[in-house]
Every structure is written in structure tokens, then in C-alpha cells.
A and B are shown apart, each in its own frame.
Chain A
Amino acid sequence: MGTSRRKFIKISALGFGGAAVAATSLETIGLNSYLEGLALENSLEKLKQTATYCEVCFWKCAGWVHSDREGNIHKIIGNNIDPHCNGRLCPRGTGGVGMYSDNDRLKKPLVRKLIDGEETFVETSWEEALTLIASKMKAIKEEYGAESMGLLKHGAPGSHFEHLFKAFGSDSIAEPAYAQCRGPRETGFALTFGSWVGSPEPTDIRDTKCLVLIGSHIGENMHNTQVQEMSDAIDQGATIITVDPRLSTAASKSQHWLAIKPSTDIALLLAWMNVLINENLYDKAYVDKYGLGFEQLKAHVQEYTPEWAYGITTIKPEEIRKTARIMAAAAPATIIHPGRHVTWYGDDTQRARAMAILNGLLGSWGRRGGFYFKESISVPKFPHPPYPTPKWGWEDIGEKYPFAEMGITNELIRASIPSEENEHPIKAWMVAGTNLNNSIPNKKLLEEAIDALEFMVVVDTMPMEITGYADVVLPECTYLERYDGIRSATNREPSIALRMPAVPPRFDSKPAWWIAKQLGEKLGLHDYFNYDDYKEVIAWQLKEMGTSLEELEKIGVKKFKRKSGPMYLEDGQNYEFLTDSGKIEFYSAALERKGFDPMPKFTQHPEPQPGYYRLNYGRSPMHTFSRTVNSPNLNDLKSENDLWVNPKVARILNLKKGQYVWLENQDGVQSSFPIRVRVTERIRWDSVYMVHGFGHNNKKLGRAHGKGASDTQLISQVAIDPIMGGTGMRGNFVKILTENPTKTLEV
């Protein structure tokens, strides 16, 4: 490389960006450059700070967007007083500016047109796009009823459209966050303790003495305060026990890593119950006072000895006993963590029940170092007429699953496929902020439903795969460019956070609230959208809450005093749980009434055939779902996923580190793109692992297209949880192909 001095001099004229880098070191070398440096720093000091809460994931950490007068966002820093982040954003939040600066963003409303016999997207005006959508919605309402408009959504934009749909007369609403993610644990814990786990989880990790993770990989999932508190717990000398077939990051921080055979977790949980009960290690006073059905549970678990579990889980009996004793010694400051993405094998509600029951035996619910009683403050509803009552809605669509507490996406999708027996026909969708192609397993079902739809609108910031199926695509602006609803946090103490635009929307993108309002106006629903700017709604709400928009603009986050009483149970305190019986239900009569096992049992799940490996998937700390892979900042940290393969497997198949391979699952589904092999001792020989969210096939995602493989594509076997309708996705098996199976593959 030759001298680059000329190049460097050139950049000093380039202005702010280039010079700011130099300034850090220029300061020190002499008077003139020191002054230059100071001048630059002073201009840096003038960066505007705008309150926001993050939308890169669902944790919604509050922060400050630092931007200059020209509207360039320099950095995003956590808000020190926010209980979701304590001033420390995760890599996705810190790199959140990439959501804004990505030039692959959706720029203009697009409408599907047939030109020369070919379907194509044509740019259109907002007026034309919205008029078209409103007329389609009216037509659906007239012909089938408003209920036949389905909304599939996620995150902040979803709530604006939920309001629109309810005002329109449809409650046919679902989000992958339930049936593809945390639904089973909400149902399982609600059946036991009477309340959801919710988000953020009320796990008192900060003060725990023993944290037990069942496949939950905190640290790879960057659920911010969970990660922070796990670190605090490590500092405090807490014991971590991790049950995972893979040496996850959390497993590597654990004193006890139980390298379990995949799909056998319930056997271990039952054996732990057996030890706690038979060795009299459970919290007797707590169980006597608050529990129901302990004697039945005791009888139930007698056959589930550690020796029995050994044969199933491959965890040695002495290891099972030892870890059970450690949990009991630390109790009630022991947390059997409910996990988050828990739709694994179809008996997931029962596994969540088993985890809840263990927490009950250890007396950790409502105890310091276990689970605290969370509290949030309710944000007053901006006045509008009552919603009309739909004739049917998400509950009816998911009626086969008696304990579903939210809309089941996969059932809403099924209801979109016309059939004789379908009493709740969905005819059109709005999809907001969720890339269904990379979140809903069973691609065939999804595509069949989409084919049958009369109309489909997608609202997103990025040209995600789902946009390719839409009739109309609406470009939403990113969280850094818009107002959104006030974030009310459920936490140790209630708090609220403000999101306001730091910069004007790029391109011709618009905030979701604006899109919802425009559609509302066109549908004659003005009274539900009685404001010109969503700012008015927020200002009104904040005033009602005894604060003001001006105050929140300055502080970003405001905390409130608890009103529901202490965070923990006091010794001997009378307490009524919100279950049917008012007790912690070890034995669930509610489940029994509907024909389900009142106490969890172990069920054998399918195992890989020779030559096949169980496909496990998880998270990387730099990405959220499939949403962030194209972000310039986050793509720079991780641009593709790897296939984790045990060295023994690599030897048998003659796989080399870094080699690209293709995957084919048990149903012959092949990965569209190759994935790089990572040979590692961190994984069992009976499974392979990849990070979820890669393998994008939309070429408009310039950085993400064709990079890595999509786990979702390879999940064609889905084990539905009969209790709440969740889609168990870990019963898929792949073989590894070293040659490209499709000669015509586009890369």
C-alpha cells in the first residue's frame, strides 16, 4: 500500500464525519490542533437529544437519540433512569441507527399491477394506496362482515392498527409473539399461579441465589435487564444451572451445565420434583399455605425417579439429585426461569406447568430472589366511542384450543383457507411489522392461505419477504422518526417512557398512527381518530397521568410509586392467587375439565432417523428475529448464520470448518441457500444448531439476501400444543448436503 496522506488531507474538507474521527487524537498534539479539537467537540456537544424507546426488539428500552442540526443521527444511548436498560442499550439498540440509515428501506407506497402479463409493484401516492385499501376493506365488510379482515401484527405499529381494526368491527387479530413464542409459558404459569409471566419477566435475577435455565439462553437473547441481572447474579456468587443440549453462552457461565438430550426436559423436571418432595426439600410452609393438590402431585411423581429420568435425558441420577438439592438450599431465592421462546415440542404448556410447579415447590413465586409481584401504571385511553362488538373474533377462530389467551396466528392463517367447515372465514389481511415468512412455520399452509386471500396489505419499514405477497405495501417510518404510544413498563416499579421523532421520516415513509388514522377517516371512523397528530394523544394522556409532554421530553422516562403493595410476600401473609381456587394449583382441575393431564407427564417425541440431525435454532445477541439482518450496523456484526456441527459428525461427513453446505429436512424441503459449517464441541452429536432469522430470499434486502440458511424454511413438521395452539418447531430433522442440490439456484 502506498502513502495515503493525500487521501487523508482530502477528507478534512469532507466535513463533520471524517474530521470528528481525527479530532479524538488531534487534541493532544499542539495548541492549534487542540483548539480545533475543542471547537469540534463543542459542536459535538450541541447534539440534540431526543427521547425514544427502542423498537429493534420487544424489550423497548428507553434511550436518547443524539442527532445534529443536519438531522444526522450520531448515536443512541440508554436512558439512565429506565428500568428496562439502566442506561445501557444492547448491541441492537446501540446500533438501532441502522434501521434508519438502511437505504434498502421501503420508500414509497407500492401497489401490485399487471403490466404486460406480469405482476409487478408500481410506486403510487399515499392517497391512491389508502383509497384502494379503504375501498377493499369496505367491500370485504359488505360482502362478508368486518370480522373477515384479519390483522397479523407485532410491536408498536401493531397497536395503532389494532385500534383501527377494533373500530372497524374486527377482532380477528393475532401475533406470532403468542403461538410462535411465549404463549405456552403464559398459559402454563397462568394455570398454576393465576397470572401471566408477561414481559419483561418478573424474575428477581438481581437477588437470586440460584438461576435455573431450561433451554433459555440469556446472553444470546439480549433481553436487556435479564442479561444485566444475570451478570449481577454472577457478581453476587449465585449458582447458575443450565439445561441445554448446547453449550450456550449462559451454559458456559453455569456451575452446572446439564447437557440434556433434546426433547426430554419434562422428564428432568419431573425427576427434580421427585427429589424435592421425597427428600423433603420443598418449602413446606409455603406449599401448605398457598398450594392446592400437593398430595396428588406427590403421588404423581413417585414413578419419576432420577434413575428413570437418566434413561431418557442422559443426565446422571446423582447430577439430578445434586442440582435439586442446590435449588432447594437456595430457595426461595431460586428461579426456574420460564424462558421466552418456548414453542418446541407441542407439549410446551405442560413443560411450562412443570417449571411453574417447581417454582411453587421451592416457594419462589412472590419471594425475593425468585419472582417479584410486578406492577405497571395504566395509561388512560384517549376518548373515543365504544368499539362495535364483532360477531366473532380471535377467540372463535382459535376455539379448538381452550386455553388460548390471545389470537393464534396459525389458526387465523388456517381460517383464511376456504373450506366448507370454516365458520370464520378470513378474506383479507393486514400484516404490520411482522415478517410472517420467517416467523410462521409450515410454509405450505402460509402460502396456501395467502393464495386464497382476496386482498393483502403489508406495512413495514423494510422490504421483508412478506411484502412480496402483498397487493399494497405501505412504507412505515422507523421508530426514530415517529411518535408512538406511551410505553408503560411492568416492572418492580411502574414507569412510562416517551418515543418522539428524533429526525423527520426519510423517503416517503409515514408513521403507523398516521396510516391508521388516514384509513380510519376514509372508512368513516373519524370519531376514533379525533386528533391531527398523535402527539396530541400523548400530551393528553400524560396530562391525565399528572405529568406533561414537556416533562417527558426532558426526562424520557418517569417512574411512579407502587400501589399494589409490596413486591414480595411477607412471612405467613394471606394471599389469594388469581387461579380458580385462589391457590397455586399443582393439580389443575381446569386442565382436567377440558380433558388434559392435570399434572405434567413426559411424552416421547420423534427422534432423528439415521443420517439426520435435530434442527435446533436460537438467537444471536446482535439480531432480532429476521428483522435486523439487513441493518448496516448489525449486519456488520453478524452477516450470516453458521451451522453448528459436533466434530464427531464433521469427521463422519468429512465436513471442514467454513465449508458451505445445504440442508434437507425429513420432508425433502431443502434450504434455498448454503450455510457455513462451524465445527464445535459446543453442540451434541445428535443435533445441529443455527441462529434464526437468516437466509432471506428477497433480493431487495441487499445485505441479507442469500446469506445463511433459514431455519423457518426447514420447519415443515409442526407439533401443535393442544392446550393453547402453539406451534412446536423443534421436531424437524435435517441431513447435510455437501453439494448444491438445485443446479439452478440463484445466489
Chain B
Amino acid sequence: MRYAMVIDTKKCVGCSDCVVACQTENNVPIGYCRDWITERVEGTYPKVELELRSERCNHCENAPCVRCCPTGASHIIDGGIVLVTPNECIGCGACIESCPYDARFQHPDGYVDKCTFCHHRLEKGQLPACVSVCPTKCMYFGDLDNPNSEVSQLLKARKHKTLAPEAGTKPHVYYLI
């Protein structure tokens, strides 16, 4: 089992529904977020291209945040989900510094927080909150080890990329381009 998220930039409109759905689902305090929207504009008017994408923790296979965690609070569980155990976290911030995606933040309650792929929902057979709410249905979630899963099929059929591949982190969030 290798969970992955595939996000179709051709469909994302950058509405931030994923952001607010995550906040309400995971009780993320206002002013903080586990996912966010990035906008990239290239070209000169009127030959301009715009890419919108929803970003979050990439749940890297080779996760620098896990490697640098002094207490073991950052760890990888079955399915490849990177988690933080709040009461083992001392809030040192090493993981925040090490993450090439700026995906982690200091929760005001004193631990480092980030996307969990809505692990608590997966256990109940539900999709992550962001995926289930997205009005454009541009986000897909599933198991890369299953060649028939929607995510495997999409990655087979469509051109895609990961973010900051040069960091060698082997992300589990893919962008269809």
C-alpha cells in the first residue's frame, strides 16, 4: 500500500475549498492551514499561462522531516503517510526547516502540524476532506501499488510532475500537467 494524491492542474480553479475543508475537518485554527493554493504565471500578455495547484505535505518516501526529527515524533506509517505525534513533538522546528515544500507549521498549541492525508477518514473508508469537497473534482486519491487504482491509471495516461524533484524526496503528491 502506497497512498498517493494526484491533482489535475488543468481542472483546479484555485478556489481554496480544499483549504477551508481541511481547516474544518481537522480543526486547524484560523490563521493556519495544512494545504494552500499556489499560482504560477508565465509569459507576457496576451501569451500568458496560468497554473493553479493545491499544495500540501508531499508524504515523501524519502522524507527529510522524518530523518531530522530528534524525538521520533515525525514518522511514516503503513501506506507511506508521514505523521507527527503531537505529544512526542517538542516543537524544535527542525522538520519545518528541512521540508522543501514548506508544508509544516508550528501549531499554536506547541507542536508541529501538517497534512495527514486525513488518515482518520481513510480508516473509515472515506477520502481526504480536500478530495471529497473539491468542486472541480481535480483531486484523486488512492494506492500506487494497485495498478488499477484511479491514481495509477491517471499517472500512466497523463503527463505529470512532482514538486522540487531535485530535492530527491520522492513525493507522493503528483500534478497532472
Contacts and interface: CB of A to CB of B under 8 A. Distances in A.
B17 A681 contact: no
B168 interface: no
A35 B123 CA distance: 14
Which of B19, B28, B116 has the most A CB atoms < 10 Å from its CB? B19
Nearest to A6: B110
B156 to A, nearest CB: 16
Contacts of B11: 231, 234-235, 253
Given A41-B120, A94-B20, A234 B13 contact: no
B41 interface: yes
Contacts of B44: 681
Interface in B77-103: 77, 83-93
B137 interface: yes
A267 B135 CA distance: 34
A74 B41 contact: no
Contacts of A230: 136
Interface in A670-696: 680-685
A726 interface: no
A227 B136 contact: yes
B113 interface: yes
Interface in A1-51: 1, 3-9, 11-12, 17-18, 20-29, 37, 41
Contacts of B85: 25-26, 28-29
A95 interface: yes
Contact of A633 (B20, B91, B119): B20
A680 B46 CA distance: 11
A222 interface: yes
Given A234-B10, A249-B14, A252-B50, A633 B23 contact: yes
Nearest to A247: B48
B117 to A, nearest CB: 10
Interface string A83-120: 00101111100110100000000000000000000000
A88 B106 CA distance: 30
A594 to B, nearest CB: 39
Contacts of A638: 16
B43 interface: yes
A103 to B, nearest CB: 12
Interface string B15-50: 111011101111110110100000001011110111
B163 interface: no
B20 A637 contact: yes
Nearest to A257: B46
A76 B21 CA distance: 9
A622 B41 contact: no
A219 B28 contact: no
Contacts of B107: 21
A249 B24 contact: no
A78 interface: yes
Contact of A636 (B14, B31, B43, B87): B31
Contact of A249 (B28, B43, B52): B52
A17 B29 CA distance: 10
A21 B113 contact: yes
A228 B137 contact: yes
Contact of B86 (A25, A77, A249): A25
A632 interface: yes
Contacts of B133: 77-78, 88-89, 94
Contacts of B51: 252
B111 to A, nearest CB: 5
Contact of A91 (B10, B17, B26, B90): B17
B79 to A, nearest CB: 11
Chain B interface secondary structure, helix, strand, loop or mixed? loop
Contacts of B52: 249, 252
A250 B10 CA distance: 10
B136 A97 contact: no
Nearest to B13: A219
B25 A75 contact: yes
A257 B50 CA distance: 12
Contacts of B49: 252
Given A5-B110, A91-B20, A228-B137, A633 B26 contact: no
Interface in A233-250: 234-235, 247, 249-250
Given A21-B27, A25-B86, A646-B45, A222 B109 contact: no
B155 interface: no
Contact of A3 (B50, B77, B90): B90
Contacts of A91: 15-17, 19-21
A41 B25 CA distance: 12
A4 B110 contact: yes
Contacts of A25: 83-86, 116, 119
A87 B131 CA distance: 12
Contact of B90 (A5, A21, A253): A5
B68 interface: no
A81 interface: no
Given A227-B136, A681-B44, A632 B109 contact: no
A228 B135 contact: yes
B16 A24 contact: no
B43 A637 contact: no
A600 B46 CA distance: 28
Contacts of A88: 17, 132-135, 137
B120 A23 contact: yes
A259 interface: yes
A672 B83 CA distance: 47
B16 A621 contact: yes
B26 A231 contact: no
A634 B31 CA distance: 11
A95 B111 CA distance: 25
B20 A681 contact: no
Nearest to B33: A636
A224 interface: yes
A24 B120 contact: yes
B106 to A, nearest CB: 7
B40 to A, nearest CB: 11
Contacts of A27: 119-120, 123
Q: 10 closest pairs, A vs B, by CB?
A: A4-B110, A219-B13, A621-B15, A252-B50, A7-B110, A259-B46, A231-B136, A4-B91, A75-B24, A91-B17
28 contacts: A4-B109, A9-B87, A21-B26, A24-B118, A25-B86, A25-B119, A27-B119, A28-B83, A74-B24, A74-B27, A75-B24, A77-B133, A89-B133, A90-B135, A94-B133, A95-B23, A224-B135, A228-B135, A231-B135, A231-B137, A232-B137, A250-B13, A253-B10, A621-B13, A636-B20, A638-B16, A684-B45, A685-B45
Given A24-B119, A28-B119, A259-B46, 5 more contacts: A4-B111, A21-B26, A24-B118, A252-B49, A685-B45
